[in-house]
Structure formats: C-alpha cells, structure tokens
Amino acid sequence: MERLQKVIARAGVASRRKAEELIKEGRVKVNGTVVKELGVKVSSSDRVEVNEIQIEKEEPVYFLLYKPRGVISSVSDDKGRKVVTDFFSEFKERIFPVGRLDYDTSGLLLLTNDGEFANLLMHPRNEIEKVYVAKTKGIPQRENIRKLEKGIKLEDGKTAPAKVKVLSVDKKKQTAIVEISIHEGRNRQVRRMFEAIGHEVVKLKRERYAFLTLNGLKAGEARELTRHEVKQLRTLANDVSKKNS
C-alpha cells in the first residue's frame, strides 16, 4: 500500500505536491469514488483516475544515459530529430529525462518514469552537483575564472558560486579545456556563463551528476541505476533540502 499522491507522482502525472492539490480539488478517483483526503493509501489492484483518466501504474525504472551531441532531451520532437527516449525503444515504460542537456551538449543524463524522484532531483533547493568539461575559444584569464567562481550576472539573475578548474590550454590554437561544477539547472547556463566572460564554448560535456559518472559507457549507451544509487540520490537531495530549509 502506498499513499495516493505518491502513486500519482510515480506514474509521471504530476509532482507529489501537485498531486496533493489535485486530490484536494476532488479531481482524483479511486475505484470510481472521489477522494479528497491526503492520507488515503492504495494498492496495485486499485483503479486510480486523475481528471477522469485512469493512470497507468508502472514499476519505477531509473536509467543513466551517455547522451550524444545532436540529440534532443525530450520524449518527442516536432521536427523529427532524434530524442533521448529513442535509445530506450525496447522498454515499455514511459520514461522521460530528469532535466535536460542542450542539443549540442553531450554527457550524463538521467531518465525515469518516477515523477516524484525527478522533481526531487530537479528542485533548485536540493543543489545536486553537476560537473561539466568545456572547450572554450580563447583562454580564460584568472580574473575571469574568479568571476565564474563567485557567481556571474546573467539576464535571468546572478549564478550561484561555481567550482572552476582550467585543465589544459592550447596557446597555438587559443583554446582551453575547463572543468566547471554547478548545482543550478538554468537553460544553457554553462554556455551563457562563459559567454558572459567573453569566451564561446565550442564543445560541452556533462561528466558527472552528483556521484554518478560515465565510466564504462560510450556515447549513446545507457545502464540502469542500481537500487543503492537511487537511494543515494534520494538521500543526498533530501539531506541538502533539510539543510537549506
């Protein structure tokens, strides 16, 4: 038996908080009866409807994908371009990406059918660390690296402090390889941060998400997260959330 709002969130219909609102508004039925109380628990045999549509209860699945460049972080694309779920055509579960990576950005991306888990990881308050490696046009000077580290002003507000390390430079080609660690998830954030200090990012890869890495995977390959890894991610996000609340 599980709480109704958790079952709705796990089905990918809404976050747990939104599911609670739907229940209170009388938009959820269990076995044909409207339920407005948040403490109700349901089993796998119960019929749950949201807005008169029966939800499909699936076993939660969790994947780590090495997303190649030139792939959309979505479940579909109106232009017919390749999307991340195309790499999981053999699975019957309706999975979706946790956050996104830009079309031209490669690297580590999580996918799941567990809406509650996805919302937990994506909430800005939970500060999940994401590590990227960027190849830049031009070689960032120390003063500009410090700006990134302290937080830099973008059109949608100042970024949180970042960890930045110049891994290598090519003076002949005037390029640099820079590692940057952030915990926010704004659109094109890393590229915009480097643009703000006058350096275009010509190649970008997410190499780590929390404690997860791409070890053993090639571009386009994926693996299931272990139960222990899923538990670790939940614990990490909840611990940080409590610390910041």
Q: Is 78 tagged catalytic?
A: no
Q: What is the pLDDT of residues 38-86, one digit of tens each?
A: 989 988 789 999 999 998 777 889 999 999 999 999 988 989 999 999 9
CA distances to 104, 116, 124, 178, 224 from 119, rounded to whole Å, are 24, 5, 10, 29, 19
Instruction: From the candidates 46, 86, 102, 239, give the one annotated as an active-site residue.
Output: 102
Q: Give the integer Cα–Cα distance in Å for 53 and 59.
A: 19
* CA angle centred on 175, ends 173 and 177, rounded to 5°: 140
Q: How confident is the model at residue 143 (pLDDT cuts 50, 70, 90)?
A: very high
Question: Would the CA dihedral through 34, 36, 42, 48 be positive or negative?
Answer: positive
Please write the tens of the pLDDT for every residue from 82-106.
999 999 988 877 889 999 999 999 9
